[in-house]
């Protein structure tokens, strides 16, 4: 009986050991197959793949995650020339044809007006103030950074995640064939200016048109339009606008245009945790990098413009014109806020943050630039 029991026990032990080995081996096979599996994603961007610096962040993200994952997480980037749907990015990422997109949040204002808060608004925040809002402001006192919290809220209905994707800094006010000396000079002016700024200009009597990028130069040259805004010297110089519209105005309407990475929520949730972290880190680094790249491009282009095209006349809109633009901006925002509770909430939140952020911007960058330039006698 004892012997039998012993034998039985020994058999049991053998079985348990055997099972344990099978289990262990099984786990090992599973782990190695996960490691071996290469994840392949596709990203669609609003821009042609040659349009730097806007087209740079997705390429950099793809390079970074490939290196970090030792070649196991591959993102294929497709420019507008391939997918031919520059303003279909949100729909394509939502639908899962692409796991990722790179675009600008304010392009979706027709789907939800609250998307404008994650690009820029006229007379809004600078890039530093806005990045701090995305990642560190907490005017709601709930431990979540305000910008990211609101962006998640607004985009959740599309079942996508949205992340900052690069910043142009202050954009120039645009190229004008004739100078703007008073508010009445804006009446009847035909101008290409998109987004909320277009609505503001329309309130001031401007005939706002939207013309595809490829036709802008000819339209300005032939007088189909009298003025247009694009980005800043780095991107404007290639378009040649300075040759046909010599008045180059400083900015007010897009003080910190933020690009955007879109990620299909389901695809993101299915990624291994470490790949999720790689992706988030890469997007943040690539976004910051675009800001540096754009700054360098604009500084170089502006130096070249000044020497090669001395006819360019840099101007700032007269104070009464800026005042009218500011007033019209408040009216446009108020109009949306009266119809949309969340719009009002985000607006109030940004205003509360700016109460802290702006005095610090003035105290640091603004006074430093002013003082150091005065000392040097420039």
Q: By C-alpha distance, which of 324, 309, 318, 178 is closest to 236?
A: 309
Strands 190-192 and 227-228: parallel
Are the C-beta atoms of residues 260 and 93 closer than 8 Å to each other?
no
What is d(CA 200, CA 223) in angstroms, rounded to the nearest whole number? 22
What is d(CA 297, CA 52) in angstroms, rounded to the nearest whole number? 9
| Closest approach of Ca ion to the CB of residue 175, in Å | 12
Per CB under 5 A, contacts with Ca ion among 116-175 are 171
Closer residue to Ca ion (CB): 79 or 251? 251
What is d(CA 136, CA 153) in angstroms, rounded to the nearest whole number? 17
Per CB under 5 A, contacts with Ca ion among 219-238 are none
Closer residue to Ca ion (CB): 198 or 278? 198
Q: Show the binding pattern over residues 69-108: x = contacts Ca ion (CB under 5 A), - = does not.
A: ----------------------------------------
| Closest approach of Ca ion to the CB of residue 59, in Å | 22
| Closest approach of Ca ion to the CB of residue 210, in Å | 12
Strands 247-249 and 313-315: parallel
Closer residue to Ca ion (CB): 197 or 282? 197
Closer residue to Ca ion (CB): 171 or 294? 171
| Closest approach of Ca ion to the CB of residue 253, in Å | 8
Q: Show the binding pattern over residues 167-196: x = contacts Ca ion (CB under 5 A), - = does not.
A: ----x-------------------------
Residue pointed to by tokens 């820029």? 120
What is d(CA 104, CA 242) in angstroms, rounded to the nearest whole number? 26
| Closest approach of Ca ion to the CB of residue 78, in Å | 23
| Closest approach of Ca ion to the CB of residue 185, in Å | 21
Spatial strand order of the sheet with 73-78 comes to 73-78, 39-45, 100-104, 258-264, 160-167
| Closest approach of Ca ion to the CB of residue 158, in Å | 24
Closer residue to Ca ion (CB): 45 or 149? 45
Q: By C-alpha distance, which of 37, 48, 56 is closest to 283?
A: 56
Instruction: Give the nearest residue (CB) to Ca ion.
Output: 171
Closer residue to Ca ion (CB): 161 or 196? 196
Closer residue to Ca ion (CB): 167 or 171? 171
| Closest approach of Ca ion to the CB of residue 171, in Å | 5
Using CB atoms within 10 Å of the CB of residue 330, give its burial: 0 to 12 exposed, 13 to 18 middle, 19+ buried.
Answer: middle
Closer residue to Ca ion (CB): 239 or 271? 239
Closer residue to Ca ion (CB): 120 or 350? 120
Strands 258-264 and 100-104: antiparallel
| Closest approach of Ca ion to the CB of residue 124, in Å | 14
Are the C-beta atoms of residues 176 and 271 closer than 8 Å to each other?
no
| Closest approach of Ca ion to the CB of residue 346, in Å | 21
**How many chain residues bind Ca ion (CB under 5 A)?**
1
Helix spans in 136-272 (H): 146-155, 195-203, 216-221, 233-239, 265-270
Helix spans in the chain (H): 2-36, 56-68, 80-83, 89-95, 127-135, 146-155, 195-203, 216-221, 233-239, 265-270, 273-308, 319-337, 341-361, 367-375
Beta bridge partners of 262: 101, 162
Closer residue to Ca ion (CB): 158 or 233? 233
Interface residues with Ca ion (CB under 5 A) are: 171
């Amino acid at each position: 009986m004892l012997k039998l029991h012993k034998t039985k026990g020994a058999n049991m032990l053998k079985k348990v050991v055997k099972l344990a080995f099978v289990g262990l081996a099984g786990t090992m096979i599973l782990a190695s197959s996960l490691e071996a599996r290469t994840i392949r994603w596709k990203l669609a961007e609003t821009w042609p793949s040659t349009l730097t610096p806007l087209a740079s962040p997705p390429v950099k993200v793809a390079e970074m995650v490939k290196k970090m994952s030792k070649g196991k997480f591959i993102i294929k980037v497709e420019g507008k020339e391939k997918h031919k749907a520059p303003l279909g990015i949100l729909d394509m990422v939502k639908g899962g044809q692409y796991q990722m997109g790179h675009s600008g949040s304010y392009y979706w204002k027709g789907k939800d007006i609250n998307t404008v808060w994650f690009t820029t608004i006229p007379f809004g925040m600078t890039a530093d103030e806005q990045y701090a809002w995305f990642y560190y402001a907490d005017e709601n006192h709930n431990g979540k950074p305000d910008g990211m919290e609101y962006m998640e809220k607004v985009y959740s209905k599309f079942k996508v995640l949205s992340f900052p994707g690069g910043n142009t800094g202050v954009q120039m006010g645009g190229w004008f064939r004739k100078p703007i000396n008073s508010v009445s000079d804006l009446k009847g002016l035909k101008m290409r200016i998109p987004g909320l700024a277009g609505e503001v200009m329309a309130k001031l009597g401007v005939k706002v048109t939207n013309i595809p990028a490829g036709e802008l130069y000819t339209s300005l040259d032939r007088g189909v339009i009298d003025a247009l805004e694009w980005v800043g010297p780095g991107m404007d110089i290639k378009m040649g606008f300075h040759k046909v519209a010599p008045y180059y105005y400083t900015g007010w309407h897009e003080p910190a245009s933020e690009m955007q990475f879109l990620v299909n929520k389901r695809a993101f949730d299915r990624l291994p945790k470490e790949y999720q972290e790689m992706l988030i880190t890469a997007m943040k680094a690539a976004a910051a990098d675009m800001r540096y790249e754009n700054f360098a491009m604009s500084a170089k282009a502006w130096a070249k413009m000044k020497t090669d095209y001395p006819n360019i006349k840099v101007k700032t809109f007269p104070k009464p014109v800026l005042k009218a633009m500011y007033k019209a901006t408040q009216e446009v925002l108020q109009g949306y806020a009266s119809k949309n509770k969340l719009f009002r909430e985000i607006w109030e939140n940004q205003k509360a943050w700016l109460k802290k952020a702006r005095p610090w911007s003035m105290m640091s960058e603004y006074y430093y630039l002013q003082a150091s330039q005065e000392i040097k006698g420039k």
